[in-house]
Structures are given as C-alpha cells and as structure tokens.
C-alpha cells in the first residue's frame, strides 16, 4: 500500500506540473488585451503600456510561468487583475461554498441512487426496474437549467417551501446557507442520481450471477447477510469511480446550476475570471480543479482496495 500511495502521489505531481504548463499556455492564447479589460476602452496607450509593465506582461513567457508556478507552490497566488484582491482567500472561500453545495448533493443522490440501483437489480426486468431506470435516465437527459427552473417554479414560487434564489453572503456558515442549498442540491442530485443508480444496478446484477453468491444462497445464509456482506461489497466498485469523479464535477463544474440560482461558488468565479480575462484568477481556479480531480481518483483507488481485498493495489 505504501509503494502504491507513493507511486500515485508521484503521478499526481507529474499531472499537476504538466497541467500547469498547459493551463498557463492556454490562458496566454486567450483573445483580447488584459490591460484594456482592466482600464477600459478609453484608456490611453501610455496608461496601457504602464499597466503591462506593472503586470510583467512584456517578460518572456517562460519567466512568467516560473514566477507564477513558484508563487503558487509557496501559497502566493498573487492578486486579481480586476478586483486587486488576494486570489487565494477568494478561491478558498468560493471553494468552501461549492463544497457545502456538493456535500448536500452527495448526501441526497449517492444513498438514494444506491438504494434505487439495488432495488432495480433485485427486480430485474420487472416493473420496478423499468420505472426506476426510465425516470432516472429521464433526469440525466434533462438540462440542469430546465430542472432548476422547474424546481423554482413549483417548490419555491408555487409551494413557497424553499427560497427561489441562492445568492447568499459568500462568508455564510453552513447552517445559515443550508435553506438556500436545498433546491440547487436537488437540481444537481437529479442529474447524478441516474448514473449512480445505473452503475449500482449493473454491478449488482453482475455480482448476483457469480458462483460464490449462488453458493452463499445454497448454504441458506439470510438474504440480508448475502446482500450487504457479499453482494454490495463488490457491486459498489464501479459506483465508487462514478462518485469520485462526481466530486470533482460537483466542486468545479456546477457553473449552470450556480448561475440559475445565483449561488456564489467556484463555478461562477471561473466564469467571472474568463469574462474579465483575469488570468491569475483563472489559472488558480483551474489548478484547484485539477488537484481535486486527482485527489478524488486517488481516494477511489484506496476505497477499491478496502471494498475488495482481492484487488492488489501494488499490481
């Protein structure tokens, strides 16, 4: 396990280095002039030239990259070109908001998706299976902005159960933000629910066909013991991958949901940085996303080994 972890951490470091080079290169190719965006269309050429000198935009690209990468490693992510505020506290605050939304969504759709997937597998090709599969896949194909608007219309405006807008104070605590997280969390959950249910159903059906499950049934073991101790331990392996990949998406890919509900998360911050060509802010957000995805995959591999000892993490 130690060798496996060291090897995976090494791969993560290599991934981060290569990704940082790609991110830096792409941001340099974005159209437009950063100085013009900051100072406005009526700025003089002298003012634009002075700002470019101040930002170091005339330095060679490799020097700019090394300076940015070194500062990022040290925790000095620089200041936003637009707001002139330190980037690291801003990104961490928005990441915390996205983490709150992601946590609520995970608590909703992961257990529910596993339960529905197991029921569908146990009732394979029967009406419950067809109903669960049809409804879950319908929500997967429904765009998030449509789902969000429907929930706002019926649950917020019609029934007045939840707030229609989630524009909370970025510094709000989880307890303060929770009422505003329900509708966006449900919106996200309806999309992820179908994937979890389908993967759990498929994995459970495959495990139920194995010889050792038949042997356990023939021994007369209780159905609950067979299901929880033998079936789910192995059938949830594909689901772990989906959940791990979903964590990265939840923390950084909720741009549409955050826009619909006005939620101040990391996704909206990325959109802001692109619109304003705030390159240091965009680079920092992108690196955080890559790090989250890498750590999520590492966690999935570790859970694989815990769920199924037959998997040799060192191989």
Mean pLDDT of the chain: 81
In a domain, 81, yes or no: no
In a domain, 245, yes or no: yes
Mean pLDDT for the stretch of residues 256-277: 84
Q: Other C-beta atoms within 10 Å of 175: how many?
A: 7
Residue 23: domain span: 2-74
Which residue do the tokens 């939620």 mark?
263
Same-domain check for residues 124 and 224 = yes
Same-domain check for residues 29 and 118 = no
pTM: 0.77
Measure the CA dihedral 130/133/134/137, to 10°. -170
In a domain, 34, yes or no: yes
- pLDDT, one tens digit per residue, over 4-39 is 778 878 888 888 899 889 888 887 776 666 777 667
Q: Is the pLDDT of residue 313 over 50?
A: no
CA atoms within 13 A on the CB side of 292: 23
Return the CATH number at 135. 1.10.3720.10
The sign of the dihedral angle between the CA atoms of 308, 310, 312, 315 is: negative
Same-domain check for residues 156 and 238 = yes
Q: Tell me which range, 93-107, 206-220, 285-299, is most confidently predicted by mean pLDDT.
A: 93-107
The sign of the dihedral angle between the CA atoms of 260, 262, 265, 268 is: positive
Mean pLDDT for the stretch of residues 58-78: 83
Contact yes or no for 121/200 (Cβ under 8 A): yes
Same-domain check for residues 265 and 131 = yes
- pLDDT, one tens digit per residue, over 187-240 is 888 877 888 888 888 888 888 787 777 777 777 777 777 777 777 777 777 787
How many domains does the structure of the chain reveal? 2
């Amino acid at each position: 396990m130690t060798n496996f972890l060291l090897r995976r951490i090494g791969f993560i470091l290599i991934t981060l280095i290569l990704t940082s080079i790609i991110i830096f290169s792409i941001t340099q190719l974005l159209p437009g002039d950063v100085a013009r965006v900051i100072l406005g269309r009526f700025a003089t050429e002298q003012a634009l030239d002075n700002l470019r000198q101040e930002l170091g935009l005339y330095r060679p690209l490799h020097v700019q990259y090394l300076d940015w990468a070194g500062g990022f490693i040290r925790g000095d992510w620089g200041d936003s070109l637009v707001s002139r505020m330190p980037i690291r506290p801003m990104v961490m605050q928005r990441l915390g908001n996205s983490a709150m939304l992601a946590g609520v969504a995970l608590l909703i759709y992961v257990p529910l998706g596993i339960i529905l997937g197991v029921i569908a597998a146990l009732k394979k090709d029967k009406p419950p299976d067809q109903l669960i599969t049809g409804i879950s896949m319908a929500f997967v194909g429904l765009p998030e902005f449509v789902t969000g608007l429907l929930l706002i219309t019926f649950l917020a405006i019609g029934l007045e159960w939840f707030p229609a807008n989630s524009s909370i104070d970025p510094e709000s605590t989880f307890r303060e933000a929770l009422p505003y997280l329900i509708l966006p969390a449900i919106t996200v959950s309806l999309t992820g629910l179908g994937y979890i249910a389908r993967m759990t159903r498929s994995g459970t059906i495959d495990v139920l066909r194995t010889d050792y499950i038949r042997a356990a049934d023939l021994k007369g073991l209780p159905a609950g013991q067979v299901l929880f101790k033998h079936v789910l331990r192995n059938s949830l392996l594909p689901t772990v991958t989906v959940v791990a990949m979903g964590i990265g998406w939840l923390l950084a890919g909720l741009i549409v949901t955050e826009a619909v509900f006005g939620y101040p998360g990391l996704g909206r911050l990325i959109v802001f940085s692109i619109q304003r060509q705030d390159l240091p802010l965009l680079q920092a957000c992108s690196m955080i996303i890559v790090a989250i995805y890498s750590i999520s995959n590492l966690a999935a591999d570790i859970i694989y080994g815990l769920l199924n000892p037959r998997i040799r993490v060192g191989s």
